[in-house]
C-alpha cells in the first residue's frame, strides 16, 4: 500500500492541506515534518506491511483507554503503535525537510540512518537517447529548493517535482520513501529498493520541454 500521508514538498508557506483528503496537515514534534493524521490512520488500518516507515511514536495522554497504559516517556519505532487518540509523531527518520542534498556536507546535514547510502548512475534517456545522470537517495526528499540552483521546485504530482530552470526531475517512490533525482529528461526511472518503475509525464515540442 502506498504511503500517502506525507507531502513531497514540505515548504511551510504553501503546504497546508493533504494532497488526497484535503485535511490540514499535522506536524511532527521534531524537524517540522508534515503528515496527515487521517491518511496515516487509513494506512495503518489497511496496510499489511509497515516496514518501510522508520518512525518515533510518542504519547501525549497517559490515560488513554484504547490500549495498555503508556508513560509520557513512551517511544515506539513501530508505526502500528500510533494511536489516533493519544499519540504524536516525534519524527520520521527517513524524511528530509530542512536541507537540500549536499554531497560535500552529507554527514552533517542529513538526519537519517548511518547505514543509508546514496549513489549515482548513468543511464541512456529513453526520450533523447543520450546518457543522463540519476542520483538515488535512500530517503524521501521533501525539500522545496533545487539542489543545483536553489530555485523553488514545482510540484507536478503527489510524487514528482521539478526545476524548470535546470531541467532536473525529482521523483519519489511512495512504497519505499526513496527519491530519484534525474539530471535530464527521461520517461521513467526505477526505485532501487522495490524495483518499481517511476514514470514521468513529459511532453517535448520543438525546443520546449514540459512536465505535465
Name 51's bridge partners. Answer: none
Give one DSSP letter per residue of 119-157, joined into a string: EEEEEE-TTT-SEEEEEEESSEE---B-TTT-PBPEEEE
Contact 37, 83 (CB under 8 A): no
Rounded to an integer, what distance in angstroms lies between the CA atom of residue 145 and that of residue 164? 12
pLDDT at 105: 45
Rounded to an integer, what distance in angstroms lies between the CA atom of residue 73 and that of residue 92? 18
Q: What's the whole-model pTM score?
A: 0.82
Q: What 3-state DSSP class applies to 132?
A: strand
In this structure, what C-alpha cell is assigned to residue 139? 530517503
Cβ contacts of 209 within 8 Å, gap of 6 or more: 167, 185, 202, 203
Rounded to an integer, what distance in angstroms lies between the CA atom of residue 204 and that of residue 210? 6
In this structure, what C-alpha cell is assigned to residue 54? 522508520
Contact 150, 157 (CB under 8 A): no
Contact 142, 10 (CB under 8 A): yes
Alpha helices in 11-149 (DSSP H): 37-46, 106-109
In this structure, what C-alpha cell is assigned to residue 128? 533523447
In this structure, what C-alpha cell is assigned to residue 179? 527519491
Task: Determine the longest span between alpha carbons in the chain, in angstroms.
Answer: 64
pLDDT at 212: 45
In this structure, what C-alpha cell is assigned to residue 146? 533545487
Q: Summarize pLDDT for 39-68 with one digit per residue, the tens.
A: 999 998 888 776 678 899 999 888 898 888
pLDDT tens-digit profile, the chain (212 residues): 899 999 999 986 778 899 899 999 999 998 889 999 999 999 988 887 766 788 999 998 888 988 888 988 898 888 888 988 999 999 998 898 876 555 444 443 444 444 457 788 887 776 667 888 999 999 999 999 998 898 999 988 889 998 988 889 999 999 999 999 999 888 888 999 999 999 887 554 544 454 44
Rounded to an integer, what distance in angstroms lies between the CA atom of residue 133 and that of residue 124? 9
Amino acid at each position: 500500500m502506498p504511503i500517502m500521508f506525507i507531502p513531497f514538498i514540505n515548504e511551510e508557506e504553501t503546504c497546508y492541506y493533504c494532497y488526497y483528503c484535503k485535511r490540514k496537515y499535522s506536524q511532527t514534534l521534531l524537524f517540522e515534518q508534515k503528515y496527515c493524521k487521517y491518511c496515516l490512520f487509513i494506512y495503518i488500518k489497511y496496510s499489511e506491511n509497515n516496514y518501510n516507515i522508520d518512525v518515533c511514536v510518542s504519547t501525549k495522554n497517559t490515560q488513554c483507554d484504547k490500549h495498555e497504559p503508556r508513560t509520557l516517556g513512551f517511544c515506539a519505532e513501530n508505526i502500528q503503535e500510533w494511536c489516533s487518540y493519544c499519540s504524536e509523531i516525534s519524527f520520521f527518520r527517513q524524511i528530509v525537510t530542512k536541507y537540500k542534498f549536499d554531497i560535500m556536507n552529507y554527514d552533517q546535514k542529513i538526519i537519517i540512518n548511518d547505514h543509508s547510502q546514496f549513489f549515482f548512475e548513468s543511464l541512456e534517456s529513453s526520450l533523447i537517447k543520450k546518457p543522463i545522470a540519476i542520483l538515488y537517495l535512500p530517503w524521501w526528499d521533501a525539500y522545496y529548493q533545487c539542489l543545483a540552483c536553489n530555485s523553488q521546485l514545482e510540484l507536478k504530482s503527489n510524487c514528482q517535482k521539478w526545476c524548470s530552470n535546470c531541467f532536473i526531475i525529482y521523483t519519489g517512490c511512495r512504497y519505499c520513501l526513496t527519491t530519484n533525482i534525474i539530471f535530464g529528461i527521461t520517461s521513467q526511472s526505477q526505485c532501487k529498493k522495490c524495483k518499481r518503475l517511476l514514470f514521468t509525464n513529459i511532453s517535448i515540442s520543438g525546443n520546449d520541454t514540459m512536465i505535465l
